Amino acid sequence: MTTTVEITRFRAPAARADALLAARPAMLRDFQTDRTGFLGARLIRLAADEWLDVVFWRSPEDFAESRRRGGDRPGIQAFFSLIDEVVSVEEGTTTEPVGG
């Protein structure tokens, strides 16, 4: 079974890294309780104030609906507000089960 993957590269200054990490659990709780098809996420810190957010969705439709809704929950909005710039958003599919 394949899974839809959302890969978002964004910039947030190093001065906000602690705040970003502190806001992450509330964002994930909002996704878990309010986003159909949300399977999990991994945040990866890169060089030069860039991050990758890798989010796993049950289907492309679930991902599309989440994008349509954007930051409509307090925890999601708090995390998004710490981002200076979204560099790119890509969609793909896994080649193996999530967690495997």
What's residue 54's pLDDT? 98
What's residue 96's pLDDT? 81
Spatial strand order in the sheet of 4-11: 38-45, 50-57, 4-11, 85-93
Q: d(Cα 31, Cα 74) in Å, to the nearest integer?
A: 11
Q: d(Cα 80, Cα 19) in Å, to the nearest integer?
A: 11
Predicted TM-score (pTM) of the model is: 0.92
Q: For residue range 27-60, what is the model confidence (pLDDT) as tens digits?
A: 999 999 999 999 999 999 999 899 999 999 999 9
- Its CATH class, for the domain covering 4-93, is alpha beta
Q: For residue range 80-91, what is the model confidence (pLDDT) as tens digits?
A: 999 999 999 999
Q: Judge whether 4 and 93 are in contact, CB under 8 Å.
A: yes
Give domain limits for the chain.
Answer: 4-93
